[in-house]
Structure 1
Amino acid sequence: MAVQNGLSINSCPLADSEEKCPLLKDDVEDLDDSVPPRCCSARYNLAIMMFFGFSVVYGLRVNLSVAMVVMVNGTNIQPVLNSSSGHECPAPSHGLDNSSQDGDQPDGIPQYSWDPQTQGLLLGAFFFGYLVTQIPGGYLAGHFGGSIFLGGGVLGTAALTLLTPLAAKLGPYWLFSLRALEGLGEGVTFPAMMAMWACWSPPLERSRLITFSGAGANFGAFVSLPLTGFICHSLGWPAVFYMCGGAGCIWAVFWFLLVSDQPSSHPRISKRERDYIITSIGREGGVHGWSVPVLPMMLSVPLWATILSQMCSNWSYYTMLTSLPTYMDTVLHFDLRQNAFLSALPYLGAWAFSVISGVIADRLLEKKLLSVTAVRKLFTITGLLLPAAFLVAVGFSGCSGVLAVTFLTLSTTIGGTSAAGIFINQIDIAPRYAGVLLGITNTFGTIPGVVAPIVTGYLTQDQTVAGWRSVFCLSAGISAAGALIFTVFGSGKVQKWAMAEEDQNETEADPEKDPLIT
């Protein structure tokens, strides 16, 4: 094992190598002078780079959702809408001035005759690829380090995005395949993020660092949705994919220049910060070897609680992410620019609440007011159960655009608090295998991304209020089920199979000892 300045990389101080090295060390907590400043630190600079990286990632992911509104020739599906007795919301029922779609982009931009089922398949195509690389990406990032996988995933997805107009011109099968390939590239990004934080995040800063970096996803959705509408209106929908793809390529250049896998290999980190991070993480964090405890993972009840709860939460999230612009267009009849802005509004609140929830969660742990388990359950219940109630309200808001937008915004905003709950629970229960576990949970959690748009397309094929009510109520019920599952079976305690061998032996000798404050 490599050694630098009296510290073993990804381990405890050499002087303490024979002693227990818990994940939350009292000697680190009590020495305020040992905690380096957060401002301009290497760990917070990493969080900022990840934040912008995931902003780009979600821009690449959701741009098709808005562009789809103008990529499709609506006149070809109009007879279906007119044949429905449930087309209850003629424009402008919400009291806003809606303009025709005809002027929403320059002349000569191609449009395609894709029915709602085809649109649902194209919107879900990304997730077919996204499923495949989650576990391999998490495993390899946990062994080799996450920076190459996170940066490479964004770069590959961005480069493929540049080909979207060509694929659409060739036909829906080509576009489906391209979106699936984009999913392959992006699938490694979140597991790689968690693998990096296993090496970089001190336990008492973990919630705020991870939620801030992951909040880039909501921020990216908030910015890219209205920006996509504006670009479609001004330059035509192909320009969206050229500009988003170019932004991803530029970000990747800065990522590879500025980021290191571990504090020990960062060329610009201070000795004080490096020692603080390595000491506070201890031997439970860092990279893992080639072997992982697969069978204990498969039999772990807390892990399955996280998996199932994330699947339930993602169902409503991905339904909104992929289908909300269609709802705004076909039911509430907002024009393209109103559609894009109002579809983005919920993600502004989710971004703010996810960042705030991370800070509050860390403060609760610092003050020892609640255990890790209690904190994760509190934010999971808040982030799943309350949004479910507002989704039901959306379903019964009828043709009122004001009510629908208000309830959707409240639902997604409060849902952001789950970022400090189930969405960082992997690093609680198994820090050294956090990348692998995020790959596993994201693999299962991506299944709703594949299924939800297809189910939405089926339920809303006539674009009626009743059909969309079914979509929102189904999402609400699934979210509530996720909250219940994690409340009963979830945990924030490091699992025995994830401990270093020395800590396993100490726990067996003294069951009262615990490497985490749980």
Structure 2
Amino acid sequence: MVTKSFDLIQNGFIIPARYIQVLLMFTAILLVFYQRVNLSVAIVVLNKLNGTTGTTQPQFDYSSLTPHQRSSMLGSVFWGTFSVQLLSGYLSSHYGTVKLLLCCVLGSSLISMGLPYVLIYCGYEAFIAFRVLQGCTQGIVFPAVYGHLAKWCPLKERSLLGGVSQSGLDMGMALGFLCSGLLALTSLGWMAIFYVPGVAGVIWSALWLAFAAESPEKCHYISHKERTLISEVGVAAMITKRNAPIPWCAILTSVPYLVLVLVKLSHGLSIFTLMQQIPLYINGLYDYEIHVNAMLSSLPFFLMFVTSHLVSYTAHYLLVVRKCSLALVRKSMNTLSTWVPAVAFVAMTLLSKELVSANIACLIVAVTTYAAAAVGSSLNHIDLSPNFGGMLVGMTNMVMTGMGVISPIAVAEIVKDENDRSQWNIIFLIIAALLFLGNLLYLLFGKMVAQPWDKIESMDNRAADNNTVASFEVDTIRNIVK
């Protein structure tokens, strides 16, 4: 009897367990990225408050900071994220993901609630230190999520469920920009920008403890039918992974993986630059009110969220219904997420500052089409290695988040005047060139099948092989003696 992937009711369970896991991972990513981008809006608010009289809000003299100090405030969270990628990738592949994701969201949320006090009473140096610590907790999220997806997603649903969970990134940035701008207008002022997502993260942690499960075998509310469906994934047991050596040499010399790293590097430079700089770019060129700035900054990311779901369902349709090859779907989607934004960035350099609608439209196109990256290349880590998927994501994210560290430094070096459009154009052209090159190599050398180095022998098979070898050696010695 064939098990259908989308039975909504399975032995009395209205919502399948794997969908609950995906929903929790979606909200985890949403909260992490909300807490990552809200500082971009808070900085604009603090800058506008400088010298303002008749306000009861605590103020911080942001205008007194140098460009490099400002870039350090923006990029500090990526310093922490960068530093934990390899460790979190190893831990997620070898020791599970439930506790890791709990530490990620809960730790980041508690720090978020304390950041306003740190900035007011301890200064920007202490604020940077706490943002680095927050980045360390946030850096766990993607290695843990991909490791969790590898255990919970049937092969035919991997693109769909993986895309849905990753769309939390889009919604997190959209809500981070929009809600931060609106919260700044409340009685709590700019401090609410950090309080609200912190409280939401604590609530999520309680739900995660109640419903998260390390694997289908350890889930107490999963149906037998669904457990059978997911068991076809074929991911090695955790104890087997702990005893298996990591094929470092094979991974670091794997052309498909190295090409994937280059693609994600270009994605990282693109999305992290937009994530950090869009509010500053709009404020520098057009000087809108904070709520207008917040709405314009969030609009591309809301559309990106919608697009990500359209892309996920389109990929699922092409793979399951139309029977298209996985390689065709992955490479087509990745082309959409790289070459279209590259064209949009180049177009922005050719448009005049006065064409506001056209410039915002190019920004929307660049951000919206990036949504196809989740299906186009991000899930390729699990294609190449279901067993070491979390480890690969950790390694790739170390490079990718390195772009989050470099981006604000590069912007501070190149963009000396936020009102000068020609300086911003240099940034856009660099991003466009990297996006084009990365996808070109991905089209030529990318692979969508498990690599030979992904295989892990079970302890029983390894013991049987050892016994066979030992028996052969004994027989050989006996023949020689005879």
Shared fold, TM over 0.5: yes
How far the C-alpha of 1:183 sits from its partner, in A, is 0.6
| One-letter amino acid of the counterpart of residue 154, structure 1 | V
Q: Take 1:496 and 1:434, find their aligned partners in 2: how far apart are those partners?
A: 14
1:179 matched to 2:92? The reply is no
| One-letter amino acid of the counterpart of residue 31, structure 1 | V
| One-letter amino acid of the counterpart of residue 121, structure 1 | S
| One-letter amino acid of the counterpart of residue 95, structure 2 | F
Q: Is the 8 A contact 2:22 2:165 kept in 1?
A: yes
| One-letter amino acid of the counterpart of residue 385, structure 1 | W
Q: Is the 8 A contact 1:105 1:232 kept in 2?
A: no
Question: Which of 281, 295, 313 is the equivalent residue of 1:341?
Answer: 295
Q: Is the 8 A contact 1:124 1:449 kept in 2?
A: yes
Q: Take 2:223 and 2:449, find their aligned partners in 1: how far apart are those partners?
A: 31
What's the CA shift string for 1:289-340, capped at 9, x where partnerless? 2421111111111111111110011101000000110001111222111111
Question: Which of 69, 77, 87 is the equivalent residue of 2:44?
Answer: 69
| One-letter amino acid of the counterpart of residue 228, structure 1 | S
Aligned partner of residue 242 in structure 2, secondary structure = coil
| One-letter amino acid of the counterpart of residue 37, structure 1 | L
Question: Which of 208, 227, 233 is the equivalent residue of 2:179?
Answer: 227
| Root mean square deviation of aligned Cα | 2.2
Q: Take 1:426 and 1:494, find their aligned partners in 2: how far apart are those partners?
A: 9
How far the C-alpha of 1:212 sits from its partner, in A, is 0.4
List 4+ stretches of structure 1 deviating above 4 A.
32-35, 73-76, 102-108, 283-287
Equivalent positions of 1:103-502 (< 5 A) are: 107-112=57-62, 113-169=64-120, 170-234=122-186, 235-278=188-231, 280-283=232-235, 288-290=241-243, 291-367=245-321, 369-399=323-353, 400-463=355-418, 464-501=420-457
| One-letter amino acid of the counterpart of residue 418, structure 1 | A
Q: Is the 8 A contact 1:200 1:263 kept in 2?
A: yes
Aligned to 2:472: none
Q: Take 1:283 and 1:107, find their aligned partners in 2: how far apart are those partners?
A: 53
From the superposition, tell whether residues 343 and 105 of structure 1 become closer, same or farther in structure 2 (CA, over 3 Å): farther
Q: Take 1:255 and 1:379, find their aligned partners in 2: how far apart are those partners?
A: 31
Q: Take 1:197 and 1:407, find their aligned partners in 2: how far apart are those partners?
A: 33
Aligned length: 448
Q: Is the 8 A contact 1:36 1:276 kept in 2?
A: no
Aligned to 1:31: 2
Q: Take 1:441 and 1:162, find their aligned partners in 2: how far apart are those partners?
A: 30
Pick the structure with more helix per residue: 2
How far the C-alpha of 1:445 sits from its partner, in A, is 0.8
Q: Take 1:295 and 1:499, find their aligned partners in 2: how far apart are those partners?
A: 14
Q: Is the 8 A contact 2:3 2:229 kept in 1?
A: no
From the superposition, tell whether residues 472 and 258 of structure 1 become closer, same or farther in structure 2 (CA, over 3 Å): same
Q: Take 2:450 and 2:54, find their aligned partners in 1: how far apart are those partners?
A: 53
Q: Take 1:297 and 1:63, find their aligned partners in 2: how far apart are those partners?
A: 36
| One-letter amino acid of the counterpart of residue 315, structure 2 | A
Q: Take 1:437 and 1:465, find their aligned partners in 2: how far apart are those partners?
A: 38
Gaps of 5+ in 1: 1-29, 77-101, 506-518
Aligned to 2:464: none
TM-score by length of structure 1 reads 0.82
TM-score by length of structure 2 reads 0.88
Aligned to 2:31: 56
Q: Is the 8 A contact 1:105 1:233 kept in 2?
A: no
Q: Take 1:460 and 1:58, find their aligned partners in 2: how far apart are those partners?
A: 25
